[in-house]
Structure 1
Amino acid sequence: MGRIFLSQLVTCILLFFLGFNICMAQNSYYVFKKSGKPFLNIDAPVLRGSVIGTSDVLLLHKKDTVFLINEVGELFELKQANSYAYNSLKNYKKQEEADSFTKKYFSYVWKQFTNQQKTRQRPGVVYREDRNIKLLSPKDSIKKYVPEIFFKWKNNTDSTKVYFHLQEVETNHIFKIGLTGNEIKLYRDNFILKNGRDYKWAVTKEPYPNFSEVKFNNFELLNKDSYLALKKEMETLTLALQLLGFSDEDIKTAICLDYKFCEN
């Protein structure tokens, strides 16, 4: 009987903390953009994607600015030198009312930041193979509509020869080539690279690695229709963000980071 009671007690405690963490996440603000050198809780630097919880305090100095977003897509602007407790943040909602499209965007970004926060709190997957080969470009999950793609990486291993792997996701076909450099250019030739397909790529020291232990970057090579539709959607978002006072460069950077749609 005592064991049953103890088991029920442990279950209740776990459910309480799970519900508490979910509530905390839903009530959190995230930093959408910052300028200057604001701090969180005295000495922690504020970065894009930093979470602001109920016990946190934001510290802004002269010329510092911080934009925050919440779960429902509302935007908050802090621009005066001051210390801002969590409970006061709701008073700094951006006066210009964001339209529904912009709110959907900010809500989407909030969810992305939340997922990233959860990932950072979990024990990460350790890629034992080739952890000293860093994939540089194209960035993970990027969307592109280009005639060719430059693949670049940084090789910090003791091996001068490496192996480039390009996998087409739909067919699982892998194109492989041995190289001694740090980059390779491939063309959209409808053989190796085709419009409208998803790909993943990696660079390893071994020609036949255990792919479950290899870090891949993903990218989508858009077809023309998908590109034009996405471009039109991003133009609408750009106009909406301009009305909120964001610069063209800030908007371009945000769209690249959040939608993985990056144009030169």
Structure 2
Amino acid sequence: VPNGKFVPVECDLQDFESVRRAISVIKTDYDKLYCLANNAGVAGTPDRATVDGYDIQMQTNHLSHFLLTAELFPLLEAEAQETGDARIVNHSSIGRFHTANNSLEEKYFQKNGGNLGGDSSSVMGGACFQRYFQTKLANSVFTYGLHDRLLIAGQHNIRAVCAHPGGSDTNLANDVNLGLLWTIFMKGLGPFLFQTPEDGAMGLIKGMMHPDAKSGVLYGPKESAMKGAAVPTPPKSFETDLKAIEMLWRTSEEATGVEFQI
């Protein structure tokens, strides 16, 4: 965007009041919004509650994004009506395939922060990462739920898109104690397994900017690959499960205090 301008808005995703203040600033300054990219995230954090009582990872990675999307949706509608194109892009990860039971669990969406398994940080089985995997599955389930509701409402000018970065060499989990073996593995093989942050961002950017990006599609390295071009990735059945979508929508509305109807 050659003539674009970067305008920071303070928004602490671990505090719903901070998110609401950010929403108020945006609504005051802008009457239309082309794209809402729900990209911010944390991983492997301790089993602690936010000021609102929810798990740190779930509130940061999903619940506050749900609140932003619901409250800023009228601005997206205004853009879609004027230009025929507005977008919501949620950033998931291959972690969505690693929840304990290939399903969302309601307890992670409730005020159970600090009581969700403790601080074991084993990458595949530890509670820290099981909480993270729940949030990343929530991102894709939220996207497919949004897409379904947009279709039912006849709103074809707002696209709900999801992305995953594959293995991206960022500092997301730099402060997490992965244990000696995993640390050696990641330090030794990480450069060969992971792609650059720039390449990892291609799915997100495609969802935001590419004219052919489709609603209801997840873009990223093929299937659960760690590297590669951002291509359409078919959903698993548990990502489009109607009961999972209903549970996510209901508990997210309860947590944020908003009724999100499309």
TM-score in terms of structure 2 length = 0.22
Greater fraction helix: 2
Q: TM-score, normalised by structure 1?
A: 0.21
Specify which structure has the higher proportion of strand.
Answer: 1
> Per chain length, whose mean CA-contact separation is higher, i.e. which structure has more relative contact order (CA < 8 Å, sep 6+)?
2
